[in-house]
Every structure is written in structure tokens, then in C-alpha cells.
Amino acid sequence: MQRRALVVRGGWDGHDPVGTTDLFIPRLREAGFDVAVEDALEVYADSDVMDGIDLVVQSWTKGEILADELTGLRRAVEAGTGLAGWHGGCSTRSATPPTTTTSWAVSSWRTRTT
């Protein structure tokens, strides 16, 4: 079965999310991944999509993630989906509306209360 990668990109144009992810997409394909690209965080809330993803590559800076989107992404990672990103494209976000998981970071996957 072919592995599936999901590239999620957007947010602040200063980090050039399209240009930077376009550099990596050919490498993912060369490594045997079927690559899907999304320009919206809403995909994280779609369990049908997320259940079939082996790797998420995120390049999204200065954005807010909704509670259901955060839950979907966390659920996928906790189930074994890989998560990759770089610099500000995979940084702390705030959830809207605020939940008990309003702060997250790739390095720690911590939760805090609001």
C-alpha cells in the first residue's frame, strides 16, 4: 500500500508556504508518498481524510486553529501519523474557541488550561 502525505500550507505569506512546500513535494513523491495538498486547516477536522494519512507536512504561520481541527490533528498524531514542519510554519497556535488544549507545539505536544 502506498504511503500518503498531506501537505497543509497557508497563513502568513512572509514564510512563503506555497514556495517552500513546493520544494519538498517532489522529494516526498520520490520517497514513494502519494501527496495531497490543502490550503486550509479544515482538513484536520475530517476524520475520513486524516485516518488515511501517514505523514502531515505543515507550513502554516500566524494562524488560528479551531478546536475540532486541533482535535483531529492531535488524534492523527497520537495514532501514529508523522508530523513535520519547519520554522514558524509548525509553531504554537491558539484554538478558537478556547479549549483545554489551546497551546501546542511540535516539540512537546503539551496541553494547558485556559
Quick: pLDDT tens for 84-97.
988 666 654 555 55
Radius of gyration of the chain (CA): 13
112 domain residue, yes or no: no
107 domain residue, yes or no: no
**Average predicted confidence (pLDDT) for the chain:** 82
CA angle 27, 32, 34 (to 5 degrees): 90
- Domain residue limits at 36: 3-96
**6 is written with which cell numbers?**
498531506
Residue 67: which CATH number? 3.40.50.2300
DSSP assignment, residue 101?
Answer: B
110 domain residue, yes or no: no
41 domain residue, yes or no: yes
Identify which of 10, 69, 72 has the alpha carbon closest to the alpha carbon of residue 39: 10
pLDDT band at 113 (very low <50, low <70, confident <90, very high): very low
Identify which of 41, 12, 38, 44 has the alpha carbon closest to the alpha carbon of residue 25: 38
What total number of domains does the chain contain? 1
